[in-house]
Amino acid sequence: MSSPQRPRGHLPGEPGTATWLAEQTVIGALLRSPQKIGLLASWLGADAFADPLHRGLFAAIDQRQNAGALHPVDAPVAMWDMRPDDRQRSVANMIEVQFALEAAADPAAPSVDVPALAEIAHAGTGVSDQQLRTFGQMVLEGSVRRQLDGWGVHLQHAVADVHATGRLDAAVLGKATDTVMNNLLELQTQMSGRNARHTTVPGTFPPVGPAPGMPPDQVAQAQRTVIGAVLTEPRWQHLLDRLQPEDFVGFPAHATTWQAMQEAALEGPLHPVTVAAASERLSYQAMAGGMDLAPGLPVAQLQMLAAAPPRGTGRAVVDVAGAALAAHAGRARDQMQAAAADPRRDATEAMDLAQVVVARFAERATRLTRTDRSGSLSARLDEPPIVPTPVSAPPGRSRGR
């Protein structure tokens, strides 16, 4: 039986990939000898199968075998070469599985008749117990890789949903990163010990698709507003610790300017001229080291930002932090998806890398949503913090010389 065609993707489980063929072989072997599901059932569940038909058939075989409705068959030859009694038991098993699949009424699983099941069963001809375990492990690894891909997208959606509320709630983001990390740890346990059955709760798998982004003009204006506020009013200079150059996403000149402001603040009060001088030093250091660093904002623009009374700074801080979190989540997603799709990494290595990526994102999220006595990072930041955070040099930062 040929599988319905669908777009080919980079993740395991698509028709024609080795993982899809492993799924087909596992199902074929179990249709031939349903009693062998005992080799897999303690650590492999139906949800690990990417193909809806394979998923439905595994669940049907598991359910009917547990109910004692299937006959044991041990015939390593093609069905047409089986002894008549073995062939009769095999056909009876397939009819039972067909009825169970229809009774499940899973809209994602296509209907299938006995001749089609016999064709699938042919894929399991001659598969040994050791090979069956190996192919089952391939199925589980494919599921793990797809979940790594999905959880990266989940982080992006969590950030977008939180920012849409107008309050970058640290507790909500922390819960999202904890959920991802706990899932990774659970998958790691399943992969290492193979002693916990793989399950995915229906309806809670992470969403797929791009998360909505903030308009670039809004991000640029917010970044300029924050730069101007810190230049103008000392009460906002605690942001020099909270925000880092990497948080000024999409506009390299703003990122360089922020780094220059951090450098200049170590020397004394901020002024457009001292910030411009620090920016020039950073550019020279980067050029001397063979690195690429965008020029900062020109001194005339810095003077304009410093001369204009800042308005809506609290909202601007939320937008800058929100855009930064979205960018950091996007990078985390890209890194997790790259690890999931890289066949040179085994699934355990991919999970280890994903845990590092999620932990790094969690650190950034904690920094960007850190609360002062004035409350959570939200539009309320137009009110000055009661106790500003002193400006201190980040570890290992030079003093611009």
Query: 229 and 159 in one domain?
Result: yes
CATH number at residue 312: 1.10.860.10
What pLDDT, on the 0 to 100 scale, is given for residue 371?
57
* pLDDT beyond 90 at 14: no
Q: What's the whole-number mean pLDDT along residues 351-356?
A: 90
Cβ contacts of 12-17, under 8 Å, gap ≥ 24: 12/50, 12/138, 12/141, 12/142, 12/145, 12/146, 13/49, 13/50, 13/51, 13/142, 13/143, 13/146, 14/50, 15/51
The residue out of 99, 127, 155 marking a domain boundary is: 127
What pLDDT, on the 0 to 100 scale, is given for residue 216?
92
d(CA 44, CA 140) in angstroms, rounded, equals 7
In this prediction, residue 367 has a pLDDT band, given cuts at 50, 70 and 90, of very high
Query: 221 and 78 in one domain?
Result: no
* pLDDT beyond 50 at 9: no
Residue whose C-alpha is closest to residue 34's, from 121, 100, 119: 121
* pLDDT beyond 50 at 2: no
194 vs 375, more confident: 194
What pLDDT, on the 0 to 100 scale, is given for residue 393?
37
**Full domain range(s) for residue 123:** 18-127
Query: 347 and 264 in one domain?
Result: yes
Q: What's the whole-number mean pLDDT along residues 196-225?
A: 68
What pLDDT, on the 0 to 100 scale, is given for residue 77?
72
By the 8 A CB rule, do 143 and 34 touch? no
* CA 115 distance to own-chain centroid: 40
- Tokens (6 digits) for 95: 């009819």
158 vs 334, more confident: 334
By the 8 A CB rule, do 365 and 325 touch? yes
Handedness of CA 66, 71, 76, 79 (dihedral sign): negative
In a domain, 181, yes or no: yes
Scanning 165-215, the segments in alpha helix (DSSP H) are 170-193
By the 8 A CB rule, do 294 and 252 touch? yes
Segment among 169-178, 233-242, 329-338 with least mean pLDDT? 169-178
In a domain, 280, yes or no: yes
Residue whose C-alpha is closest to residue 106's, from 48, 47, 56, 31: 56
| pLDDT tens, residue by residue, 140-189 | 988 888 888 888 888 888 887 777 776 777 887 888 888 888 888 877 77
d(CA 173, CA 70) in angstroms, rounded, equals 48
d(CA 263, CA 279) in angstroms, rounded, equals 9
| pLDDT tens, residue by residue, 16-30 | 789 999 999 999 999
In a domain, 137, yes or no: no
CATH number at residue 117: 1.10.860
Query: 358 and 242 in one domain?
Result: yes
CA dihedral 354, 356, 357, 359 (to 10 degrees): 120
In this prediction, residue 209 has a pLDDT band, given cuts at 50, 70 and 90, of low
Counted domains in the chain: 2
* pLDDT beyond 70 at 76: yes
In this prediction, residue 401 has a pLDDT band, given cuts at 50, 70 and 90, of very low
What pLDDT, on the 0 to 100 scale, is given for residue 261?
97
The residue out of 127, 162, 186 marking a domain boundary is: 127
What pLDDT, on the 0 to 100 scale, is given for residue 390?
38
Average pLDDT, the chain: 82
What pLDDT, on the 0 to 100 scale, is given for residue 332?
92
CA dihedral 318, 319, 320, 321 (to 10 degrees): 50
Segment among 169-173, 224-228, 241-245 with least mean pLDDT? 169-173
What pLDDT, on the 0 to 100 scale, is given for residue 193?
57
What pLDDT, on the 0 to 100 scale, is given for residue 180?
85
| pLDDT tens, residue by residue, 269-292 | 999 999 999 999 999 998 888 888
Query: 183 and 45 in one domain?
Result: no
Assign 3-state DSSP to the chain and report helix, strand, coil percentages, each to 5: 65, 0, 35
> Whole-prediction pTM value?
0.74
* pLDDT beyond 70 at 353: yes
* pLDDT beyond 50 at 398: no
Query: 222 and 284 in one domain?
Result: yes
d(CA 131, CA 269) in angstroms, rounded, equals 70
* pLDDT beyond 90 at 302: yes
Percent of the chain at pLDDT exceeding 70:
83
Query: 155 and 121 in one domain?
Result: no
